Amino acid sequence: MMNDIWILLTASLVAINAALLGCFLLLRKMALVGDAISHAVLPGIVVAYYFSGDKTSLLLLIGATLTGVVASLMIDFLTKKAKIQGDASIGITYTLLFAVGMILISTWLKGNVDIDMDCVLYGEIGLINLDKIIIDGNLYIGPMAFYTELFAFFCIGLTLVLGFKGFKLLAFNEDYARGLGINTTRWHYVLMTLVSLTTVVSFEVVGAVLVVGFLIIPAATAQLISKKLNRMMFLAAIFGIAAVVIGYALAIWLNVNITGAMVSVSGIIFMMVLIIDKFFRKQQVSKSLNPA
Amino acid sequence: MQTLIDFITFKDPNVIYVVLGMICINTSSAVIGTFAFLRKRALIGDAIAHALLPGVCLGFILAGDKNIIYLLGGAFLTGWLATFLVDYIVNQTKIKQDAAIGIVLSTLFAFGIVLMSVIQNGDYANEGGLNNFLFGQAAAINKDEVYIFGIILLVILVATYFFYRAFLSISFNYDFAASAGLPVKTIEFVLTSLTVLAIAAGIQALGVVLMSALIITPAAAARFWSNNLRVMLLIAVVFSVFSGVLGAYVSYANAGVPTGPWVVLILSLITIISFVFSTKKGILYRILLANKNKRKIFTENILKSIFQWHEKKQKDIAEPFAAADLLSVRLFSTRELNKGLVKLKQKGLLVADGTKFYLSAEGIVESKRIVRLHRLWEHYLLRRTSMDENHVHAGAEAIEHVLSPEIEKELEKELGILGIPKDDY
């Protein structure tokens, strides 16, 4: 029971972190850049892990986060310098970096139990309790993954609070922001760094491939029904947590993959909100057309 | 080395199937990918590829075995569902296409992961083969599958041959195709079906996660080498098949290594080489061109200031001058100026005479030409636009280097000026 609660708490933090950043990615029309970054951190994680031999070291955190930033630089380079269209640049970048990561796994980390193909796909959320933090010899205060997520949450929270105005302007009107003299490039890369950090710390919990579901789907669901940024961020976090809790319950009940269930539920919530919202809109329209 | 010889000589009969399979798969996806790339719908392929996983799993559950027909059928179904859902979300909400792709891709992929865990927990024979669909294992291609991939390739090639003009017109200009009366919806439907088919065939070799590379990357690389669609298709196919067979070899030589990542790595390297070294749009070529232009502009500016100096001093243009004299008419850095003078000497436009220089006959013609272009343009701006005479110089300074003899004649006719105008602004 205690284990379940820790898993839910950790996964909820993953969902909150990802959902908050997802809102900005979505508004900046960069949803797939988030997807690309989450795939692209893989080689960084493998290389850093190979040298540090530890899945939670600071070296891994920094090294892998930098790879994500490199991916976004590479996308910009391909679009601006090589003049390849945007969507193709994203596709080329993430497939290349992900391929490099997988080649490294299959050669350097052959037979390793900590990082293997399954972990890349959907993480090891069921096993996070193995890596416990115990203080004073016997006081168990939760799994390591929870605290790395908490750390990421504080990083994201602090940056968003301090730079809220900048992010908001960047999200809604980049040209206007630049006109006001705001360094939009800097804010852009701050956002990319945060996205990269989130995918790196979430890697062992939900893997590199499915994290994009946490980034985009709850934020998109919130965008369907809210017109204000604050409300959208709040709702996105709620939708994310709901998907985590329902998905986990379903996965335990049906004995299926936990992360897969969470993201599937997230997608179902999205479709339900879309259909309900459409239904109400239709009623409103018909009411205003026939007031009697 | 021995494995390479084994591979090339098809000593292992399986190698024949693998190579034939890769040729079919990579040709199909390169052809279809080129159209997807030109339609700027490259990442739809990504959504389709990820969405195939639940289809493959459903096919496996229904067939109870790794039956290629069931797997491809399931894949085709969910692949189509993915394209439909993306279009539905984009049309019904304010959500943009890229976000819609992300939503559909991750949901269907996650559902596929759920189904995979169901299969792993149940008692199915031969379930291990399913992992090959995630990251690709070309070595697993067998004889029956080669036939099916061959049929898919044939369908795609025949369709491309018959619908070539239609595909071409909706790829380059959708609105034009629609207004010209082409049945764009039907063509799109055919193209999407072929895309799903090509991707469904490819996941065996590349895996769902990396399959989009086989759609996007060959086309992106080929785009650097040609503007002609036929040539582009051919180049994309060559690049793709080359990487596919090489990747299959690496995977063959190191048992258990997935094929997908190697194919993608080789393809990406080809793309990088293309955009650096391409003679049409390569980055290196563009840098060289820019430098050449810069040098041309610089030497032309020197020639112009030589003329201006002589004019100012009321000397004959053929009289000698010192390098330092030019600094009184135009600001040059001394080092750059000396380099420029050496260049002009090499071209035979300038002759050195001790520490001084004078223009050769050709040099005189050339310097007069540039000054004339500059002043013609100034006059044109003054007379034909409402520009003030303080502002016409900057425009002329830029355009004098690119005006062709034809435009020079036009200007001459338009303004009625012969020879070099006297006024300089």
CA distance A33 to chain B (A): 9
Q: Say if A261 falls within a structural domain.
A: no
Task: Using the predicted structure, report yes or no on whether residue B370 has a pLDDT greater than 90.
Answer: no
B340-349 tens-digit pLDDT: 888 888 888 8
Q: Say if A243 falls within a structural domain.
A: no
Structurally, chain A folds into a number of domains equal to 1
Name the residue in chain B with its Cα closest to that of A106: B257
Which of A225-229, B312-316, B417-421 reaches the highest mean pLDDT? A225-229
Q: Does A257 touch chain B (CB under 8 A)?
A: yes
Q: Say if A21 falls within a structural domain.
A: yes
A256-287 tens-digit pLDDT: 999 999 999 999 999 999 999 888 888 887 77
Mutate to test the interface with A, among B78, B86, B117 (most CBs of A within 10 A): B117
B192-204 tens-digit pLDDT: 889 988 988 888 7
**pLDDT tier, A134 (very low <50, low <70, confident <90, very high otherwise):** low
**pLDDT tier, B222 (very low <50, low <70, confident <90, very high otherwise):** very high
pLDDT of residue A291: 66
Q: Say if A292 falls within a structural domain.
A: no
pLDDT of residue B106: 92
Contacts of B37 (CB under 8 A, 6+ apart): A85, A88, B215, B216, B219, B220, B223
Range of the domain at A50: 2-209
Q: Say if A37 falls within a structural domain.
A: yes
Mean pLDDT, chain B, whole residue set: 85
Q: Does B81 touch chain A (CB under 8 A)?
A: no
B231-256 tens-digit pLDDT: 999 999 999 999 998 888 887 787 66
Q: Say if A249 falls within a structural domain.
A: no
CB contact (8 A) between residue B106 and residue A107: no
Q: Does A267 touch chain B (CB under 8 A)?
A: yes
What domains, with CATH codes, occur in chain B? Answer: 2-281 (1.10.3470.10), 286-415 (1.10.10.10)
